[in-house]
Structure 1
Amino acid sequence: MSSTPMTKRGTAVAAALLSASLLLTACGGDGDQASAGTGGGKSAKTRSVKAENGTVEIPAAPQRIVTIGNTNLPFIDLGGKPVGVTEVSDSDLAVLPKEQKAAYEAAEVIGSSGGEVDLEKLAGLKPDVILVQLSSDDWGKVGKRLESIAPTVLWGLDTEWKRFAGEIATAGNVAGELNQRKAEFESRVAKIKKTYGKIIDGTEFVDVSRGDWSDPGTFYIADIGCSEIARDDIGLDLPEAAEGKDPLAYESLPFEQLAELSKYDVITYPVDAEGRPTEPFVPVTSTNTWKTLPTVESGRALGVFCPGNNSYGPVLRYLDSLDSALATLAGKR
Structure 2
Amino acid sequence: MPDIVVAEFMDEAAIREELAGFDVLYDPTLVDKPEMLQAALSEARGLIVRNRTQVRGSLLEAGSKLRVVGRLGVGLDNIDMDACRARGIAVFPATGANDGAVAEYVIGTAMLLLRGAYGATTRVAAGEWPRNALMGREIAGKRLGLIGYGAIARETARRAAALGMQLAAYDPFLAADDPAWKPDYGPVASRTLDALIAESDVLSLHVPLTDATRNLIGAEAIARMPAGAVLINAARGGVVEEAAVAAALKAGHLGGAALDVFDREPLDAAAGAVFADAPNLILTPHIAGVTVESNVRVSSVTAQAVRRHLLEG
Do the two structures share a fold, i.e. TM-score over 0.5?
A: no
- The TM-score, its normalising length taken from structure 1, stands at 0.32
**Which protein is richer in helix relative to its size?**
1
